[in-house]
Structure 1
Amino acid sequence: MATALIDEIDVLAKAKRAIGGAYIATADEEYMNDAQQDYFRKLLMAWKRSILEASAGTLQQLQDGPIRDADLNDRASSETDWGIELRTRDRQRKLIAKIDSAMRRIEEGEYGYCEVTGEPIGLGRLEARPIATMTVEAQEAHERREKVSRDD
């Protein structure tokens, strides 16, 4: 799980480098103005492109090299590695759906606002997690409710 999260962060960092770094807002700037929306649109597209490139590499490796280790321990290790890789790619497939949803919200003018409270999510949170749909407070409340219902 930690490996998948690290991979996701690395891919997002790569996308930020591809578009020239983080967005720096000025003090007199309106929240979610055209420049900010354009920045996040480019970031989301670069992030998606990076994920698709990594997925293509995985597919190519699967097609090129079936597991044929003679030693049973080596084979088990290879199969475990492939299982982890495939789970990571499945997680990224789901992430692509969230990226597409964020792109749709940009087009509809809903991006950057909490789906629960309607309040601005904030540029810092969106910079760290461009697919965020809730403010930190709303997300924490959601997770507390989820934990309580899970404990019942």
Structure 2
Amino acid sequence: MEESPKLSEHYVPSEDEEYMNVKQLGYFSSKLQLMLAELEKQELEDNAYYSDEDSENEKLIKRRKDRKEKIKDALEKIKLGIYGYCEGTGEEIGIERLKANPLATFCIEEQERLEKEKNVYNVDD
């Protein structure tokens, strides 16, 4: 695993900095890695309680697997230098939005447009 820059434990990205600078990328990488570690820990705990045939657990397993993929995709985007940019417009997603949801892939405007379109056409994802 790549060595990310050492961040102060009190560092929080701000809108006043250069967007997606090394410190911000390190911050989000750490946050995403913690999310991934927590999911994997939950999986291990769940495996002790549930069998694979437990249909009640299937939805949880699928949701968790999907979330893990999204986290891995976000970590890959950090490596590629494209993390933090809207998949629809290429615009900045924004620091505050990413702090609230590090897995956001769309800026607010594009997300709203997609949701409006989804509602108009009544499309399920």
TM-score higher than 0.5 here? yes
Q: Higher helix proportion, which one?
A: 1
Deviations 1:39-91 (A, max 9, x none): 1011101100001101110001125xxxxxxxxxxxxxxx8xx71x4422321
What's the CA shift for 1:21? Answer: 6.7
Contact 1:112 1:122 survives alignment (8 Å): yes
CA distance in 1, matches of 2:84, 2:74: 9
- The reply to whether residue 144 of structure 1 matches residue 124 of structure 2 is no
TM-score by length of 2: 0.81
Q: 2 CA distance for matches of 1:42 and 1:116?
A: 25
Number of aligned residue pairs? 114
CA distance in 2, matches of 1:106, 1:146: 29
Asked if 1:99 corresponds to 2:71, the answer is yes
Give per-residue Cα distances to partners, 1:100-137, cap 9 Å, x unaligned.
11111111111001111111111111011101110111
Specify the code of the residue in structure 1 equivalent to 2:14: A
Root mean square deviation of aligned Cα: 2.2
Any unmatched runs of 5+ in structure 2? Answer: 1-7
Structure 1 unaligned blocks of 5 or more: 1-18, 64-78
Shift >4 Å, 4+ stretches: 19-22
Residue identity in the other structure for 1:140: E
Equivalent position to 1:40, from 28, 34, 39: 28
Q: Distance in 1 between matches of 2:81 and 2:31?
A: 17
Q: TM-score, normalised by structure 1?
A: 0.67
Q: How many percent of aligned residue pairs carry the same amino acid?
A: 32
**Partner of residue 127, structure 1:** 99
Confirm or deny: 8 A CA contact 2:15 2:95 kept in the other structure.
Answer: no
Residue 136 of structure 1 aligns to which amino acid in structure 2? I
- Post-superposition shift, 1:149? 1.9
Alpha-carbon spacing, 1:33–1:94, altered in 2? closer, same or farther (3 Å): same
Q: Distance in 2 between matches of 1:138 and 1:115?
A: 9
Structure showing greater Rg: 1
